Structures are given as structure tokens and as C-alpha cells.
Structure 1
Amino acid sequence: MPNQEESLLLYLNEAIATTRSKEPLFRIVTEKLRLIFPFDVILIVTVDGEGNYRRVLLRDYVSDLATAPEPHQPQRTAIAGTPIEQFVTDARVRTLPLAGLRHEYPAFSMFQFLHKLGIECLTAVPLRTGGQVIGLLALASRRSPDFGASDLALLEKIGSLVAVAVSNTLAFEEVERREREKTMQLAVNNALLSIKERTELFRTVATELNRVLPCDFFGVRVQQRQGLVKSFAEFAKQPDGTFVLLESTRWDHLPHYEAMQAEAFELFFQPAIYNGPDYDRLAEKYRLIRHIRAQHGTRSIMAAPLGTTNDQAAALVLARHKGEDFQPADLELLMSLAPQIALAMRNLFAFEQIETLRTQLEQERTYLIDEINTTGNFEDFVGQSAVMQQVQTRIAQVAPTDTTVLIGGETGTGKELAARALHNLSPRKDRALIKLNCAALPAQLIESELFGHEKGAFTGAHDRRIGKFELADGGTIFLDEIGELPLDLQAKLLRVLQEKEFERIGGRRVIHTDVRVIAATNRVLEDEVAAGRFRADLYYRLNVFPIRLPALRERPEDIEPLMRHFLERFTKQLARPVRGLRERDLRAMQQYGWPGNIRELEHVLQQAVIVSSGPFLEFAGFSAATAQAAPAPPEHAPLKTLREQERDHILAALHRTAGRVSGPHGAAVLLDINPKTLEARMKKLGIRRTVVGE
């Protein structure tokens, strides 16, 4: 027997000296011990100087008989009031019946676990090195062992060897852990300094952090000024160890999600760990925690505050579904990273804001170039008639203010030029004038054009889109054909006018905007309100300062200067020679009713410059046709009603297009009106295509 004992001690000494990894070393120790001592379960715990113990080994050889899983055990637990305290205080080798221990410590879960395995006795061996007890080796068996004095002495020696082994392996583990932490911190810092894209940045941080602090969920959450807690960047670990970005819309199916977040926000914005029973208590109190536990099996969460950025409080949250619980040392490590992550968030907010402004400026530039290339110039606002001087006076009066303006007038009277004049004479002239024709888009697209949409908000929304109101922030938005706006969007537009805020489609963030609104219509909005097609409250919000543009037939004295203005421009643009204007052609122009107003005059003159080849401008039969179609009324002839006048204008346009309503050469283009709107007005006025075409 002495030779066997000596051989065992030498073998253990050699194993301890050559094996640094904990698992192989403990496997060697347990296998050799079982050759001499009969036991069914072996347990090793360590005790630190702060009065906590931690289990480093639990191995049973009767798992096929187990009736309960291994009990839940945090990494560190206070020894006060536990049997560990008794064994460490009275540090000697001894064998005790499990029944007595269970009776003395009924709440100690390990004893309950051993009882279910059929264990009857427990032999406690102190782990002593350098004269100090650093832990405990426990050998549990289903039958009472018959240990003599020599056995106890041998166990005492083995305990000293195991103590050295435990100290060495834990020291090696501590060195490796610190090296891993340093490597992780360096990798995280490099990522924070070099990556400027939000998703990629925090995916990298999650991946590196997971090497030291394994987690199944990594998330950064922010609490906005309104108290709403929202996702900033959240990831879930996949079976292959990679992290996948979680969409913020994943909570949309929960009807009370925002309230659930508000209830639990305090948990995420203070340093805290919630493990096992603590987490279960939270689940009973908070609906959000209960939902997370039920849906994902979360058993442990840890939160570290990141301070306040852009008036938003931020927090880093980790969660585990299984495995070891988070420990205070884990929280200390996480908190050590918090300042760098908080700084990175501030830089990220600034970078994203700069990128948003850059995108906005680029889009503004695109809009401005498009406007310059496709619309008339402010100089086209020609006219010295009394009615036009009155219009110019009203523009000059209201332009320096932020007052909402409603421009009325028939198609082609220059409403967009008036809007441009209002913008160019205002303090907002250095920012963009953004325009939207409410009749040019299907109803389902107008909302996206006005307010924008988030990625995935609806079918086809592959990317985030910035809407016109967001783009016009600090500038002016011109809403043409406002009378065509659907009723449901009228309510949303009213909110923007009243509250100066809106949300993108599919978004939850409230966007504040500083926009001056100019609206225009060729409809009589009072009639539309009376007919229930336009909201009265929106009408009164828009009609703060009305400006009516006169029809060209109301200002015949302006026709000649307008003609000469357009002729000068088109002659230069088209590189054509200057040709004369016959007096009879001028008179015909002045006698014509101009249903398309200035726009129609512009098109007629452009066509004349193109087709003319002689010394005078040729109007391709326009003079005779117009003289017949719209003879000047006698001095004292009765005036037509607006309905009659509108009918005549539409008929004249249809005659010009041979009855064609839509298409590039249709009356709708000539009158600058939506084809469906023109058809509706024709029906209202009793105009049939067959009559026009006859």
C-alpha cells in the first residue's frame, strides 16, 4: 500500500508540473483518485479572500441514475451561512452523512442534487497551500467509505497537491483571461477608431467582446427626450458564432411595446446584472422581460450605461440564454469599455449627421439643377399692367416673412414663377425651393414623396427615402395643384403646418422641420370645401395670405411685351435669325382668349420660331383660327360666367389638339392639368369628345 500511495503522489506531482490546462489536469486527478478511493461524485470549490466560493469542478459517475439536472450555480457565491464556511473554518479531512448535512442546510441546492443521485456520504478534504485554505475537495459516494487513519492522511497529502494544481491552473487562467481582455480591448478600440458605419462598427464590437464575455444578445439602446426607449444597434448570435443585425420592426407585432419599454427602461440605464432567480423576479414584474424570457429563453442580462449623447441616454445590454451567469468582474470589464463606446457613439452621431446633411445638400443641388433646366426664370414674370403691378406689390409685402401663401389662378398664369419670386425675395433664398405637383403622382406615392419612408416600410421600399418636407428644412416647399391632394393626406399636411413635425412612413422617429409653405391651385378651394373634397381647416391654414394671378385675357396690354420677351429668348436658344412680327398677327394674339394663358403663348411662340423661314414669323394658321375661336367681345357686351369661360377655354384647347385629351400632344398638356382632372371637368361641363372632334 505505501508503494501505491507513493506512486500516486509522484504521478500527481508530475501531472501538476506538466499540465496547465484545467480540464485535462482534473480528468487525470479524478481518474487516479478513483483507483484508490471509492466515490461517485467529485467536487472542487475555491474560496477567495473576500469570502466567496466558486465551483471549478463537478463530475458525477452516476449520471444515468440522475433524477434532476445539475443545480444552477453562479460563478461566485458568499460562503456565509453555507456548509462551505463550516468546512473552511474547521479545515480537516472528515466524512459526514449527507442526511445530516441536508437537515442542517436545507436550502443548499447541491445537497438536494446529491440526494437525488442517491449519495449518502460526503468526505471533505481542505485544499491548503502555504498554510492557507484556498478551497475544498469533496468526494461523495452512495455507500459509506471505510477510511482508516492512513487513508485520511493520504487524502490530506492529496489535498495539498490538488491545492497546488488548482492554484496553478487558476493563475494560468487569470493570465490568459487578462491577455484575452487586452486583445479584445485593443480590437474594440481599433474598430471604434476606424469604422464609421453603425452596423459594421457594433457588429465588430459584439464579435470581439464575445471572445471574452460570451453572449447571445448584444444591444445598444437609447432613450430619447420624450422618454421613448429605442434600438440603436442590436444583434443576435447565430449558431456559427456570427452576429446578425436585428430589425427594429421586430417588435411591431406587440401592441403595447412602447409602454413595455417605458416600464423597463430603468433596468438598462444603470450598471446592473440580473441572473437566475433575480431575472425571474424581473420577469414577473416587467412585461418586456417576461416576453424576452418566453420568446428567446433569456436567463441572464447585464447592462452598462453609456452616458448621454445628442440629448439621448444610451446603454449597452448583453444577454445570455444558457451557460454561466454574468458576474461582477464581467460588469467591471464592460464598464471599462463604456467610455470608448460612448465616445464612438458621439462620433457616430456626428458622422451620421454630416452624412445626412451631405446627402441633403446633394439632393438639394439635384433639385436646383433640375429646376434651372426645366422651369422658367424669374425674369419671365413680365408685365406692367395694373393687375400685375398689384400682384408684384403683394409678393414684395409677404416675401420677407414666413407666412404661408396660397397662390390661385388658372393653368399657365405663372404660379410657379410667383412661388420662386416669393422664395428668392425671402431670407430663405440661400436654401432650396423644393416643389411637388400633387396631381402628378398616384395618391399612394404622394405621402412617400412628402414625408419619406424607411427601408421595408412597404413593398418596393428597398432603401430609406428622404421626403420633400425633410429636404426643404430651412427652405421653402411649393405644393402645386394642392386641390388634388387626397383627403387622408390633407390631415397629415395639416399636422405639419400646425406642429412642424412628421414621421417617415414606417418610421417612429418624430422629425421636426422648419419649412415655409407656398401652395398653389387652379381650383376654387371654397367650392371644393363646400363639396367636401377639401378640408376646411387645411384651407384656412393655407389661405393666410392669398395671391391671385390674373388670366392673360385680363391683361391684354402685357401680351406684346411677353411676346417680345419669349421671342428674344427662343431666338437665342434655338440659334435662329431674328424675324419680324406682323401687326395682324399681334392683333390676333391680343384678341385670342388664351385658355392656356402664358404657357400657351410661350408654346405658340416657340413653335413659330422653329417653323418660320421667311422675313416674318409664321404662326401656322394660328391667327385666323384664333380670331374665329375667340373674337374680342364688344365694349358693352355682357360678361360670361366663370363656368362658361372655363368651358370655352377647354373647348378651345380641344380644338387645338383635335379632341385629344391625354398624351404628349393632348389638351391636358396644353392646359397643364392632370388628364383625369380634365376628363372630370369635361364631364361636369357637358363636353363630349365626339362633339369636339366633329
Structure 2
Amino acid sequence: MPTTDETLLLHLNEAIATIREKDKLFKAVTTKLRLIFPFDLIGINVFDETLQYKRLFLRDYYGVDEMPPLPEGMEQFSPIAGTPIEVLVADPRVRQFTPQEYMRNYPNYAPYNKFEKLGVTHLTAVPLHIGGRLTGFLTLASRRNPNLTPADEKLLEKIGSLIAVAVANTLAFEEVARREQERTLQLNITNALLSIKQREPLFRAVAEALSQVVAFDYFGLRLQRAGRQEAFEGFAEFSRPSEAPGAPLQALDPDRRNGINQPDTSTMYQQMNELLQTPGLYTADSFRALAQRYPFLRRVYEEHGTRAILIAPIWERPDGAAVLILASPNPTAFRSDDLATVLALTPQIALALENLFAFEQIEALKAQVEEERTYLVDEINTSARFGADSGAFVGSGPALQLVQRRISMVAPTDTTVLISGETGTGKELVARELHNASPRHARALIKLNCAALPAQLIESELFGHEKGAFTGAVERRIGKFELANGGSIFLDEIGELPLDLQAKLLRVLQEKEFERLGGTKVLHSDARVIAATNRVLADEVAAGRFRADLYYRLNVFPIELAPLRERREDIEPLMRHFIQRLSKRLGKPVRQVRPDDLAALQAYSWPGNIRELEHVLEQSIIVSQGQFLEFAGFAGAPLMMAATAAPVVPAAVPIKTMKEQERDHILAALQRTGGRVSGAQGAALLLDINPKTLEARMKKLGIRRTVAVE
């Protein structure tokens, strides 16, 4: 017997010294133990340093056809108090007893419920000591009495010390391997950080890297970001098919009917905010308790069979939050080591996310700068063609002084301004002056004529669109509100905006947020809104053509521009301003205006206001040859002459309405262009309005092209 004992101890020492893999080591240990001690089950529990928590380190069965499933929670540290092991810890020595004796005061202890089914009749507990410190217990179970002698118990004590060393070595090697895996995973995530610049591939790379060290069936990354141009709240989700445990992770469809991303997911997550802010591991009973407390977890418990989750907050700060969630239908899928591993990797994940968002922001800014550059080039070309300064602030009349005072009062603020006035009174130039005098003058003033585009394209112009949002949308395009972020946006002819878009514009005014057409991301725009209209919006509201709530949002600070016929004292300075500027641009000498022509210009009603005056003078400069400007032969000339000859209209002659004046003005332009509406020689260019707008006005006024050219 002594020789056999010494041989056994020698073999155990050799195994401990040469074998480092846990399974191989304890296969050798149990094989050699069975040569002397008959047993059908072996189990090793290890304790923490405080002897308050235990964890099942190893179990093995012999002579059992089917190994029973591991009881819930056994692979994780759990309290020793309230279990039969506390009796062993209180008196750590080799002990023999029956299961009934062992569980006399613990009849409901789950790990031993199957002993009776397995036919186990005897248990032997062996303490594991290292340097006099208790580190765990070895338990041998058998279907027959091993009849151990005191010498056998003494040998088991020595074997227990050897096994304690083996367990400690294995745990140390596992820790080294775990740290090596962590370093490898950190390197993989860092490589992903450096090479992957798109969300879905980056999230997938992080999920795949994590799956190499932590077993899970569901990976979820919840992100919230606010306070910048883009507000983002969403989920990156991947799962592994249950029927294929080794298969690659698959991205989950965010619109699946019975999945995690139900419409009320955000609300459910908000209810769990406190839970998600703290690292946690919830398995078996602890997860079941959470599922009873939180509706969202109850859903995944019932509908997806989830039985364990691991929560690892990545960041929680004023501008948003990020949290990583792993889940599994296996109630013992995660251990405390897994949580420690994931938490050790969260700095790399956070850095990867920040790098991703920074790259996306750079790309967005590059796109915005490019769009802004293109827009400004078009603006420069337009200004060079039509003149950046059309004389809106030339003159000193009381009406103009009032406008200038109101501009100086509101320009330094971010208040929404509504400019109203007839066509050609200089509403766009007032908007430009408001922007230039504001703190936003370093950024662009973005302009959009709401009557210049078909209704189906206005939304895309305002808010942008994603690739594939509609036929012809071959790439993403940012809209005017996104382009105007940090600057100002001028919405001309706002009264022409369709009712459905009025609601979306109201949202931007109220919340400063919108989505691109075909997109789901909420974007923010800090753009100062300046709107203009030649309609009486209060009348449009009464007629049901304009939303009352939008009208009140726009009409915060109104600026009304008087028509030129009410500013006759400004006609002469405006005329001299235009003559100087237009003559220089056209390469013509500066000619004088006859007194009679000046009187006619001042007496004329100018239905087209300042714009019409500018165009009349431009045409006169082009055709004039002598010392004076010639105005004869133009459509407005007879009206000008009539105004000079009879400036006071007799009461018996009815005064034309503005609608009639507008109709006559358009007819005169069509007469001069031979009925042509668009193009270089068209009436739209002459009247300085969009051809589509002119066609809409003609249709509204009942003007046909055939009538115009007769």
C-alpha cells in the first residue's frame, strides 16, 4: 500500500508539473485516483479568498449513460452561506457521509437533487489547502461504500494539497490566457478602429471579436447621441442562429415584427436607464426577476427565450449614452470573468465609436463644405449676372428708414423674421442684409424659392434625401436646412409651400430637427429662418391654404416692404444708382434722363416695383445712342407717358386691381418676347422670376400664350 500511495503521488506530481490544459490535467488526475478510490462522480469547488463565495471548477461522471445538465449558476461564483458547503468550510477535513446526512439541513440544495436518481449513496469531501489556506473542496461520490480507512483519508489529504496546487496553476494559466485573449481582442478592435469607417462593418467586427472570448447568442449596442448636428438613437444588433452555434453572426433586421426594435423600444430602454448605467451580470433566477420588473426584458424572456444578459456601459454623459448588451438562452452562459473581460475592452470600444463618429462628422462637414462651395459659386455667378445689390436700400424716405431700423433691431438675434411685400420690392436683399448684420454672417445664407420647384422636389431640396429614396436619387444629398446649419436660410415665397410640407417645416422651427427623405436618422439644424411672401398670409390662413400654427411661428418679427409707388421720393436716387451700376456692367456711357422722362418714371405705378425699374433702365441703357436715355418703344412707356399727362385718375374711371395690374404686366412682357416664357429671350428672365412660377401665375390669371402673341 505505501508503495502504491507513493507512486500515485509521484504520478500526480508529474501531471501537475507537465500538464497545463485543464481538461487533460484532470482527466489524468481522475484516472489515477480511480485506481485506488472507487467513485462515480468527482467535483471540485473553488472559493474566493474571503471564503464567502464558491464556484464549480470541475465535474466529471463515470458509469453514467447521460450526464445531467449543470445546475443553474454553478459555473459562476455564488454565496457559500445557505449551502451544505458552509458546514465543510467551518470544519475543513476529510469527511465521509451519505447524501441524506450531507443535506439534512439543506433539503432544497439544487446541485444535489439528482443524487437519488443517479443512485449515489456515499460522499467523500476532501479540503484543498495551499500553504495552510483553504482554497476549495474535492468531492467524490459513489454508488457503493468506499470503506475508506484512516490511512486512506490521510492519503486523500495529501492528494488534496496536490490537487489544490494543480487548480491554482490551472487558474493562473487560465488568467494568463484570458489576459492574452484580451490583448488580442484589444488589438483586433484597435485594428478595426484604424481601418473600418462605417457603422455596420465596425459593429460587426466588434461583435465577432468579442465572440472569440465570450460565448453569446445576441450582441446589442445601444447608442444615443445629441447636442450636435445629428441626433442618433439606434441599435446595432447581431445574433447567431440557434441551430448553428458556430455560424457567423447575422445582423438583425431593425424592422422585424417581433424583435428587439419595436416602435416602443426607446421608451422601454428609458425605463431601464438606471439598470443600463451599471455593469451587471444577470442569469437564471436573477434574470427572471429582472424580466418580471421590466416589460422590455419580459418580452425578450418570453418571445426570444433569453435567460441571461451581460450589461457593460461604454459611456454615460450629457451628450448621450452607449451600452453593450450580450444575451443568451443559456442561463449559465456568462461568468463574472466574462463581465470583467468585456469591461476591460470597453475603453477600446468607446475609442472605436468616437473615431467612427468623428470620421462621420468629418465626412458630413466635407459634404456640407462641398455643397456650400457649389452653392456659393452658383450665388456668385447669379450675383454677377443680375447684380448682388439691386438698390433695396437706396433712398432716404420714411418707409425705407423704418425698414432699416427694424433690420438693425432684429439682426443680432436668432429670431425668425417674416418679410412681406409685393414682387420686386427687395425681400431677398432685406434677407441678405439681415444675415450680413447677424453673428452668423461668416456662414452662408442659403436660399430657396418655394414656388420655383414642383411640390414633390421641395421636400428633397429642404431636407435632403438618401440614396434610393426615389427614382433618380442615385446618391445621398444634403438639403438646404442641413447646408444652412450655423447660418441662415431664406425661404422665399413661403406662401406657395404645400400644406404637407408646412407641417414638416413647423417641426424644424419648433424642434430644429428633421429627417432626410428616405432616411431614419434625426438630424439637427441650427439655422436662422428668414421667410418672405408676396401674399397676405393671414388671408391664406383664413382660406385654409396656410397653417395657422406655422404662420404664428414665422410671423415672430414681421418686416413689411412698401411698394415703389408709395416710395416715389426714392425713385430718383434708385434710378441714378442703377444707371451708374448698369452702365458700368454693360460697358455703356452714363447717360442723363430728360426731366419729362424723370417725371414719367416718378408718376408710373411700377407694378413690378424696384425690379421693374431696374429692368426698364437696363433696356434703356442698351438701346440708347444719344446724350439721353430713350424710353420710347417699351411696353411700359405708354403707361409712363399717360401717368405724366394725367397723373390724377378721374373718379369715374375705375382703378385696376393688383391682379389686373399683374395680368397687364405679364401680358406686356409676353408681347415683348413674342410669347416666349423661358430661355434667354423669355418673359421669365425679363420679369426676373422662375419660368415655372410664371407659368403658374399665367394659369392662375387665365393667360394663354396664344393670347399673348396676338
In the superposition, the TM-score normalised over structure 2's length comes to 0.76
Contact 2:284–2:307, Cα closer than 8 Å, also in 1: yes
1:381 equivalenced with 2:391 (yes/no): yes
Flag the 1:391–1:8 CA change in 2: closer, same or farther, 3 A: same
Task: Deviation per CA, 1:297-333: give whole Å up to 9, x if none.
Answer: 5433444566753x24646444241475555566566
User: What amino acid does structure 2 have at the position aligned with 1:501?
Assistant: K
CA distance in structure 2 between the aligned counterparts of 1:618 and 1:2, rounded to whole angstroms: 132
Tell me which amino acid in the other structure corresponds to 1:27. K
After the TM superposition, which residues 20-169 of structure 1 pair with which residues of structure 2 at under 5 Å, given as runs? 20-34=20-34, 37-51=37-51, 52-61=53-62, 64-65=65-66, 70-101=71-102, 104-141=105-142, 143-147=143-147, 149=149, 155-169=156-170
Deviation, 1:22, is 1.0
Letter in 2 for 1:434: I
**Partners of 2:541 and 2:548 within 8 A in 1:** yes
Please state how far the C-alpha of 1:486 moved relative to its aligned partner: 1.7
Give the deviation of 1:58 after TM superposition.
1.8
1:289 aligns with 2:290: no
Query: Residue 519 of structure 1: CA displacement?
Result: 1.9
1:433 matched to 2:445: yes
| Residues 1:567 and 2:582 are matched in the alignment | yes
Cα distance in 2 for residues equivalent to 1:461 and 1:281: 50
Q: Is the 8 A contact 1:45 1:56 kept in 2?
A: yes
Deviation at 1:285, TM superposition (A): 0.8
1:257 corresponding residue in structure 2? 265
Give 2:582's aligned amino acid.
L
Q: Percent same amino acid at aligned positions?
A: 51
Shift of 1:533: 0.9
Q: Give runs of aligned pairs for residues 284-323 of structure 1, distance below 5 A.
A: 284-294=292-302, 297-303=305-311, 309=317, 311-312=318-319, 314=321, 316-321=323-328, 322=330
639-648 or 318-327, larger mean C-alpha shift: 318-327
For 2:658, which of 632, 635, 642 is the aligned residue? 642
Cα pair distance change 1:312/1:683, threshold 3 Å: closer
Separation in structure 1 between the aligned mates of residue 408 and residue 534 of structure 2, nearest angstrom: 21
Q: Work out the CA distance in 2 between the residues paired with 1:355 and 1:23.
A: 51
Equivalence for 2:221: 219
C-alpha separation between the residues in 1 aligned to 2:354 and 2:701? 62
Letter in 1 for 2:390: D
Is residue 529 of structure 1 aligned with residue 577 of structure 2? no
| 1:271-282 → structure 2 map (5 Å cutoff) | 271-282=279-290
Residues 454/98 of structure 1: CA separation in 2 closer, same or farther (3 Å cut): farther
Structure with larger RCO (C-alpha < 8 A, sep 6+): 2
CA 35–252 in structure 1, closer or farther in 2 if over 3 Å, else same:
closer
Shift of 1:480: 0.4
Q: Aligned pair 1:395/2:410, yes or no?
A: no
Aligned counterpart in structure 1 of residue 497 of structure 2, from 485, 505, 508? 485
Supply the AA of the counterpart residue of 2:701: L
Which residue of 2 is the match for residue 419 of structure 1? 431
SS at structure 1 position matched to 2:290: helix
- In structure 2, runs of 5+ residues without a counterpart are none
Task: Give the deviation of 1:20 after TM superposition.
Answer: 1.2
Counterpart of 1:651 in structure 2 is: 667
Q: Once the two structures are superposed, what CA deviation does each residue of 1:242-283 show, in whole Å capped at 9, x if it has no partner?
A: 888889888896243333122111101234432321111011
Q: Is the 8 A contact 1:391 1:547 kept in 2?
A: no
Contact residue 594 and residue 629 of structure 2 kept, 8 A: no
Q: How does 1:652-691 map to 2 (within 5 A)?
A: 652-661=668-677, 666-673=682-689, 678-691=694-707
The within-5 A match list for 1:622-641 is 623=633, 627=637, 632-633=642-643, 634-637=646-649, 638=653, 639-641=655-657
Cα distance in 2 for partners of 1:683, 1:613 equals: 35
Maintained 8 Å contact 2:220/2:237:
yes
Cα distance, 1:45–1:560 mapped onto 2, change above 3 Å:
closer
Contact kept? 2:71, 2:110, Cα under 8 Å:
no
For the 8 Å contact 1:45–1:135, the answer to whether it is kept is: yes
Secondary structure of 1:139's counterpart equals strand
Q: Is the 8 A contact 1:560 1:586 kept in 2?
A: no
Q: Distance in 2 between matches of 1:382 and 1:129?
A: 94
Spell out, residue by residue over 1:391-442, the C-alpha distance to the aligned partner (whole angstroms, 9 max, x if none): 3541344234246443334444432223223333445434432222112334
Letter in 2 for 1:299: R
Q: In the TM superposition, what is the alpha-carbon distance from 1:177 to its structure 2 partner?
A: 3.6
Deviations 1:179-229 (A, max 9, x none): 55566678878998999998888777767666666665363655979xxx9
Correspondences of 1:496-575 after superposition (within 5 Å): 496-497=508-509, 499=510, 501-505=512-516, 511=524, 513=526, 515=528, 517-543=529-555, 544-550=557-563, 557=572, 560-561=575-576, 564-565=579-580, 567-571=582-586
Q: For residues 613 and 656 of structure 1, do their structure 2 counterparts lie closer, same or farther at Cα, with a shift above 3 Å needed? A: closer
Q: Find the aligned partners of 2:40 and 2:656 in 1 and give their Cα distance.
A: 111
Query: Is the CA contact 2:484–2:525 (under 8 Å) kept in the aligned structure 1?
Result: no
Amino acid at match of 1:545: P
**What RMSD over aligned residues (CA atoms) do the two structures have, in Å?**
5.1
- Post-superposition shift, 1:541? 4.6
For 2:261 and 2:92, the matched residues in 1 are separated by 59
Secondary structure of 2:108's counterpart equals: coil
Task: Name the CA distance, whole Å, in 2 between partners of 1:594 and 1:656.
Answer: 17
Shift of 1:687: 2.7
CA distance in 1, matches of 2:267, 2:407: 45
1:482 is displaced (CA, Å) by 0.7
SS at match of 1:23: helix
Q: Compared with structure 1, are the counterparts of its residues 522 and 631 closer, same or farther at alpha carbon in structure 2 (3 Å cutoff)?
A: farther
The one-letter amino acid paired with 2:455 is: A
Q: Distance in 2 between matches of 1:463 and 1:295?
A: 38
Shift of 1:112: 1.6
User: Alignment partner of 2:268: what SS?
Assistant: helix
Deviation at 1:122, TM superposition (A): 3.3
Please identify, of 661-670 and 119-128, the stretch whose mean Cα deviation from structure 2 is larger. Answer: 661-670
Flag the 1:390–1:132 CA change in 2: closer, same or farther, 3 A.
closer
Q: CA deviation at 1:102?
A: 5.1
Residues 275 and 301, structure 1, Cα contact 8 Å, conserved in 2: yes
Counterpart residue identity of residue 641, structure 1: T
Contact kept, 8 Å, 2:579 with 2:617, in 1: the verdict is no
**C-alpha distance in 2 between matches for 1:343 and 1:13:** 47
Report the alpha carbon displacement of residue 85 of structure 1 after superposing the two structures with TM.
Answer: 2.8
Q: Alpha carbons of 1:456 and 1:120: their partners in 2 closer, same or farther (altered >3 Å)?
A: farther
CA contact (8 A) 1:668 1:674 kept: yes
**C-alpha distance in structure 1 between counterparts of 2:406 and 2:358, whole Å:** 40
Structure 1: gaps of 5 or more residues: none
Of residues 647-656 and 237-246 in structure 1, the stretch that sits farther from structure 2 once superposed is 237-246
- SS for the counterpart of 1:623 is coil
Q: Secondary structure at the match of 2:448?
A: strand
Contact residue 411 and residue 522 of structure 1 kept, 8 A: yes
Equivalences, count: 680
TM-aligned CA distance change 1:63 to 1:568, over 3 Å: farther
Which string of whole-angstrom CA distances, capped at 9 and with x for unpartnered residues, describes residues 20-53 of structure 1? 1111111222344445554433222223331122
> Structure 2 vs 1, CA of residues 393 and 243 (structure 1 numbering), >3 Å: closer, same or farther?
farther
